[in-house]
Amino acid sequence: MNNFRIKRTMISLALALAGLALALAPISLAASERAPGPPIVKTGGVGHVAGTTAVLEGTIDPLTLTTTYYFKYGPTPAFGKTTASGTLEGPSATTRTERIKETATGFQAGDYYQLVATNSAGPGEGLPVKYTPKPAKPIKKKTEFVLPKTFAPIPLGGTFVLAGTLTGTDSAGRAIVLQATPYPYTAPYANVGGPILTSATGAFTFHVAALSTSTRFRVATVAATGTVPLLSAVVPEQVTVRVILKARSSGKKGFVRLYGTVTPAEVGAHVFIQLERVPKPKAEKPGKLEKPLKEGKHERSEKEPVPTFATKFDAVVKRATRSISRFSVVVSIADAGHYRAFVQVKPGPVASGHSNSVLLDAPTKKAKRKKKKA
């Protein structure tokens, strides 16, 4: 019985040794295949090009030996320049092909480059390569009209200016036309004047003089018969009443007559005499440190404070002719500053609008005291 167990144990041990021999065979074979020799070198591509600096790439199999390497490069196959050299340590039976990257300065399109290496068994060289950069893909711009997003209202009879750009590969010298539909915007769009040609960069400018009513505009390409023209976004331009404000002495001490005209005639419209107030810029909080700007960021410009207007007096437009109406009010100016007349009208072909500013002085403290004593 004991002999049977011994035999079975010996058989198991023999099988285990046979398996171990089979497992070690590839390693021994690999080691025999990795016999030392001159390095196997292949020249690769070019990456990370920035101006005249580039990263040259390649591969080296040192064949288990310590190997040094570098790139040669220059405008001809004779090269003339070299990168810094590097080293692959050895010996090692498991060393395989290594990826090599070195930076080359003064590297130009059309230059030749080659990876070379050497170890104790001899030199190795990759094939010389001429660097020809891939041509940049042309950026195809969509053919469309680019216009300002907002337009300031203009007073009655003013000139509307529409400037924009037509983008795309065929935008230069393109025939375009301005089209419009007046308030209440129910009529179909009609051409305003004749067509014009875009510039070499696709830019264009339209001028519409003496605009008398709020109007919606758009720009269209002049298309051949049977084809659809390219249209821009609709641009609404608001026309406001034209208001003129003047001031003169009223003949009464401490009082001023403010008067003016409104075009077109707007009898019954409300006139608000408003004082301009420019808000003071916000003072910086003490102890607050400004955050440093990130690289590539530009310093932000300070926004100018937007003026507000406070209504001080009001009047009503009473008299009118066929084309204009008038207003007049006698007031006592307590606050010096710039005043304007804002005329509010009902929605229609022209919108509410304001006048130019008039500078008015307030009575001095001495004059105020005399007035109180009187």
The reply to whether 54 and 98 lie within a common domain is yes
The reply to whether 274 and 349 lie within a common domain is yes
Reported confidence tier of residue 156, pLDDT bands at 50, 70, 90:
very high
As given in the structure block, the two tokens for residue 312 are 């001080």
Q: Are 234 and 218 in contact (CB under 8 A)?
A: yes
Q: Is the peptide bond before 91 cis (omega within 30 degrees of 0)?
A: yes
Count of all residues that appear for the chain in the document: 374
The reply to whether 154 and 202 lie within a common domain is yes
Q: Are 25 and 51 in contact (CB under 8 A)?
A: no
Q: Does the reported pTM lie above 0.85? A: no
pLDDT in tens, 298-331: 444 456 677 899 999 999 998 888 889 999 999 9
The reply to whether 343 and 264 lie within a common domain is yes
Residue 159 has pLDDT above 70, yes or no: yes
pLDDT in tens, 173-196: 999 999 999 999 999 999 999 999
The reply to whether 348 and 247 lie within a common domain is yes
The verdict on residue 344 lying in a domain is yes
What is d(CA 314, CA 354) in angstroms, rounded to the nearest whole number?
13
pLDDT recorded at residue 92: 54
User: CATH number, domain at 49?
Assistant: 2.60.40.2150
Which domain range does residue 126 map to? Answer: 40-130
Tell me, rounded to whole angstroms, the distance of Cα 33 from its chain centroid: 59
The reply to whether 156 and 47 lie within a common domain is no
Reported confidence tier of residue 297, pLDDT bands at 50, 70, 90:
very low
pLDDT recorded at residue 284: 60
What is d(CA 208, CA 195) in angstroms, rounded to the nearest whole number?
13
The reply to whether 252 and 179 lie within a common domain is no
Least-confidence region, from 106-115, 286-295, 352-361: 286-295
The reply to whether 361 and 257 lie within a common domain is yes
| 3-state SS, residue 212 | coil
The reply to whether 170 and 73 lie within a common domain is no
Q: Total domain count for the chain? A: 3
The verdict on residue 206 lying in a domain is yes
Tell me, rounded to whole angstroms, the distance of Cα 326 from its chain centroid: 48
Residue 197 has pLDDT above 60, yes or no: yes
User: CATH number, domain at 322?
Assistant: 2.60.40.10
200 Cβ contact partners less than 8 Å away, ≥ 6 residues apart: 172, 173
| Mean pLDDT value of segment 61-84 | 94
The verdict on residue 299 lying in a domain is no
DSSP code string of 279-303: PPPPPPPTTPPPPPPPTTPPPPPPP
The reply to whether 250 and 210 lie within a common domain is no
Reported confidence tier of residue 29, pLDDT bands at 50, 70, 90:
very low
The reply to whether 274 and 222 lie within a common domain is no
Q: Are 114 and 126 in contact (CB under 8 A)?
A: yes
When comparing pLDDT for 245 and 33, which is higher?
Answer: 245
pLDDT in tens, 227-280: 899 999 999 999 999 999 999 988 888 899 999 999 999 999 999 999 998 877
The verdict on residue 326 lying in a domain is yes
Q: For all residues of the chain together, what is the average pLDDT?
A: 85
The reply to whether 105 and 219 lie within a common domain is no
Last residue of a domain, one of 107, 130, 153: 130
Residue 93 has pLDDT above 50, yes or no: no
